[in-house]
Chains A and B, each alone.
Chain A
């Protein structure tokens, strides 16, 4: 039964990947939609990394957009100033973000809940100020352009080459999500969930809470920074806009909508929200009112997010189809 269940879940995940792989062909290379899909893939990675920290480990980090931006600036600035090729600049962005993640983790070791939220959001605010006032290096509010693009032959990873870029983004997406998936299903993920569910019990069974808090900060910041670096290579510009509150809320909503700590809910949320914000673009800033309404609706009506819908619906199906399903559930 259990093996069956895991098998079913893996099959669904593989099916999802297959659909993502065939989408560009189905869309016949529609540039506009492909570019939105690329954005959704990148947000999906960030939202999943954030959810690893917030949903699985229940460490209330508000710093993941900051880690994303640290990765972006590290990659962009080193590429521009030192001429480092993208393939080295992108991992460097991840590593730098991970170092910041570990430092913030150290500060948060003895803290919990809302205090961690405050420390991590402190990083977010400090970073914004540093970027805007460190104009000489960071380019200030207007940001930085003119770093070497991620390029294979004549194809450039940018909105001008949607078909090519989509598959690059998908490759990175699959790699990073596979890492997250493996972590969730490893003893590390078990430690996250144990500490989340009951810290005193987990500690009494030999789980070192400090170690796993550092691990979750390190890993999730690394992935956030890495995808931040990929993000700026795609758009060819780094700017502090990524730290704006509407974007912060948007990513937060992605994994809330998908379902906290319910892989791959954050990805599903990222796709829905990216397309909704895109569709609502004519509303300008008013679209964030719509997003706000979605948050309220989800929190009140489906607290477990979209991923919890099957288990909410199951009792009704069971009632409708009678005993057969009940037996299947028990056996």
Chain B
């Protein structure tokens, strides 16, 4: 079953097409990786799905076209996201950061406290939830952002370069956490990442884009053997 279908999605900034005629499908329950060089349109694609931008083409989530909805509406449909740069609400506690997602991200949400505490335990932020967010380290900032997104109870989670700047140990923990979110919570994940090694490890399927266009799509081991992909990545 398809959870997300993108059909000929295009976004232009003036003359430049950041995303060009992109068509792909994401299966329910999978971890779908997206890779591509800098400026290839990965984050633009996330911004299109999550309602930050709107362009042309259809973005069908669970059978409904969500293209053109505003970000908060996309969130209410069941699509959550994280950002490349860990932007949080720096002036309030980690707990309150997550509370924003738990309160505003869920329509008719009950047992708010319970849900917040569940997510705190799930991502492993217990003990740091009362620290003001600007004082936690990069990894905890990323975890907080992820926890806030999970608190909105999404069925699809978009994760934008979640491991940049982390230590090898934190990278391993992150990978394990994404797999846990996928398996235990049954949440479909689309993940953008630079580090091919991590992406190959975590994704069930992989899509490579360059200059806003799809180069290839398939199981990781297949994609990494693709000639065009090797060219794009090694600049050969």
Contacts and interface: CB of A to CB of B under 8 A. Distances in A.
Interface in B61-96: 70-72, 75-76, 80-81, 83, 87-92, 96
Interface string A196-209: 11101111111111
Contacts of A201: 83, 87-89, 145, 148
A11 to B, nearest CB: 20
Nearest to A212: B104
B72 A190 contact: no
B103 A193 contact: no
Interface string A217-241: 0000000000000000000000000
A203 B106 CA distance: 13
Nearest to B51: A203
A209 B51 CA distance: 13
B130 interface: yes
A205 B148 contact: yes
Contacts of A190: 92, 96, 99-100, 103
A194 B100 contact: yes
Given A205-B149, A206-B76, A209-B72, A197 B105 contact: no
Contacts of A208: 70, 72, 104
Contact of A206 (B83, B89, B106): B106
Contacts of B70: 203, 208
A322 interface: no
B52 interface: yes
Nearest to A205: B101
A300 interface: no
Q: Which of B50, B75, B152 gathers most chain A CB within 10 Å?
A: B75
For this complex, into which size category does the number of interface residues on chain B fall?
Answer: 20 to 34
B96 A205 contact: no
Q: Which of A203, A205, A207, A209 gathers most chain B CB within 10 Å?
A: A205
B50 A204 contact: yes
B75 A206 contact: yes
A213 to B, nearest CB: 13
A187 interface: yes
A69 to B, nearest CB: 32
Contacts of A320: none
Given A191-B104, A200-B52, A206 B152 contact: yes
A205 B152 contact: yes
A1 interface: yes
Given A2-B130, A205-B149, A197 B71 contact: no
A206 B145 contact: no
Q: Which of B70, B101, B104, B149 gathers most chain A CB within 10 Å?
A: B104
Contact of A204 (B71, B96, B103, B130): B71
A206 B72 CA distance: 4
A200 B89 CA distance: 11
B127 to A, nearest CB: 11
Contacts of A198: 87-90
Contacts of B88: 197-198, 201
17 contacts: A194-B89, A194-B100, A194-B104, A197-B91, A200-B83, A200-B87, A201-B88, A202-B89, A202-B100, A204-B71, A204-B72, A204-B75, A204-B80, A204-B83, A204-B149, A206-B72, A206-B101
Query: 8 tightest A-B contacts by CB?
Result: A206-B105, A197-B89, A203-B71, A206-B104, A206-B75, A205-B101, A198-B87, A208-B72
Given A203-B72, A204-B75, A206-B72, 11 more contacts: A187-B104, A191-B104, A194-B104, A197-B92, A198-B89, A201-B148, A202-B89, A204-B81, A205-B75, A205-B148, A205-B151
